[in-house]
Copies of this chain bind each other. A is one copy, B any other.
Amino acid sequence: MPSPGHDQGPVRPPYQEALARVIADVIEPGAAETDAQGSFPRKQLDALAEAGILGLTVPAGLGGGGAGLREAAHVVRELGAACGSTAMVVTMHYAATAALTAANAEMAAAGGMAGVLGDIAAGRHLSTLAFSESGSRSHFWAPLGTAALEDEGQGVRLDASKSWVTSAGHADSYVWSSRPLAAEGPMTLWLVPRDAEGLSVAGPFDGLGLRGNASAPMSADGLRVPRTAMIGQDGAGLDLAMAAVLPVFLICTASMSAGLMRRLAEETAAHLQRTQLKHLGQSLARQVQPRAQLARLRIEADRAWSLIEGTLGAVEQGRADAQLLVLEVKAAAGEAAADAADLALRACGGAAFRKESPVERLFRDSRAARVMAPTTDALYDFIGRALCGLPLLGEPA
């Protein structure tokens, strides 16, 4: 019987070797402390940057790894098995990178985003998304924050109360949503540098899980960026977000959950095998109930990853059901992770409750995917609308 990994065949591409090394040397050893302290995994990200993982998805023409969604998903899954906080930060970095890359293609004439993408490719720059706001909450498609021209059209003033920014205060830039400057449409995107005047972080993050991901509120109070900080066209930010950012975010978040589940299955199997009931002279693995719980947990892990692989295939082949599957993966994997974590907690019993294994941390981390926008409930609504031929957003007419 194989070790409970997701065997991908005999050959591993070079980035996976590098990634495995960083995980073994830096990320896995630091995960417990990152969680306990709620500290941003800076050292871990530096190691990933150096190994080329943070530049992996930047086009080769801009100096990056030239990898696609499939590789991004694999990276985040491996990270998710080791340290959810790091996985989350990288997910947001890949999502932001996708926005910049997509915009760069259409903005090439204007110089575009080549500079920042080059920095990302070189491992010198961590980016993230700043979408959700305290006014519209998880409905990220409806920003209330504003953008206004200043300085005779050279500068732009941004004002907003962002509610939930991963890597807040630690990222080098924020892909920032606002209402449009002048155009029709729901949203415009901006590249906001970390040192922009008027930008502030509301305080440290103290959450149930992913405790190192620095998901804090941020506010922009008269924040100034140059006009060229606009990513894509004015008013076209939601289209860009839906087409370029959402697939990366949803698939990577799902992959984080898949990695978490794989780890839960490994930890649970190990616990059942090594823990003795001394009065019976046998291990917990001889008990029918925890064994069945382990089985169900492993099924959750395997079908979550299978759905992600199926989705990657559909996207790569341009299949008609690709968009639908993209909408499904995060909801499916996020809910499965919650169920799986309860199965692990039950199978491992008090030992897991008392933090004698990573299961307790993974249990807390498992609830993050569900509440990140788009939440599970929002995704169910999108999927149901898609299947009924209704528009994804807005009141059905």
Q: Which residues of chain A from 291 to 308 have a CB within 8 Å of any chain B CB?
A: 291-296, 298-299, 302-307
Task: Take A207-B355, A371-B349, A372-B350 as given contacts and tell me if A136 and B277 are in contact as well, using a CB distance cutoff of 8 Å.
Answer: yes
B295 contacts A383, C-beta separation under 8 Å: yes
Query: Taking the complex as formed, is A139 at the interface, i.e. its CB lies under 8 A from any CB of chain B?
Result: yes
Query: From residue A391, how far is it (CB to closest CB) to chain B in Å?
Result: 10
- Do B367 and A269 touch across chains, with their CB atoms under 8 A apart? no
A2: chain B residues within 8 A (beta carbon): 319-321, 324
The verdict on A390 contacting chain B, using a C-beta distance below 8 Å, is yes
Is A21's beta carbon under 8 Å from chain B? no
With A291-B388, A310-B306, A377-B289 already in contact, the answer to whether A383 and B299 are too (CB < 8 A) is yes
Interface residues of A in 242-279 (CB under 8 A from B): 265, 269, 272-273, 275-279
Contacts A/B (CB < 8 Å), 24 sampled: A6-B321, A136-B277, A137-B277, A137-B349, A137-B350, A215-B354, A265-B387, A269-B387, A273-B389, A288-B289, A289-B377, A289-B381, A290-B377, A291-B384, A291-B388, A295-B331, A295-B380, A295-B383, A302-B307, A306-B309, A345-B371, A346-B370, A350-B372, A363-B367
- A328 contacts which chain B residues (CB < 8 A)? 295, 298-299, 302-303
Interface 1/0 per residue, A352-376 and B, CB below 8 Å: 1111000010011001101111011
Is A9 among interface residues, defined by CB-CB distance under 8 A? yes
Interchain CB contact under 8 A, B381 and A292:
yes
Whether A353 contacts B381 by the Cβ 8 Å rule is no
Q: Interface extent on A, as a size class?
A: 35 or more
Q: Which residues on B sit within 8 Å (CB–CB) of A305?
A: 310
How far apart sit A80 and B142, CA to CA, in the bound complex (Å)?
A: 39
User: Least Cβ distance of A56 to chain B in Å?
Assistant: 24
**Minimal beta-carbon separation of A392 from chain B (angstroms):** 9
Q: How far is the CB of A330 from chain B (nearest CB, A)?
A: 11
Closest to A327 in B: B295
Enumerate chain B residues within 8 angstroms of A387, measured Cβ to Cβ: 1, 4, 265, 269, 291, 294-295, 298
A390 CA to B286 CA in the complex, in Å?
A: 9
Do B278 and A354 have beta carbons less than 8 Å apart?
no
- Contact between B332 and A338, CB atoms less than 8 A apart: no
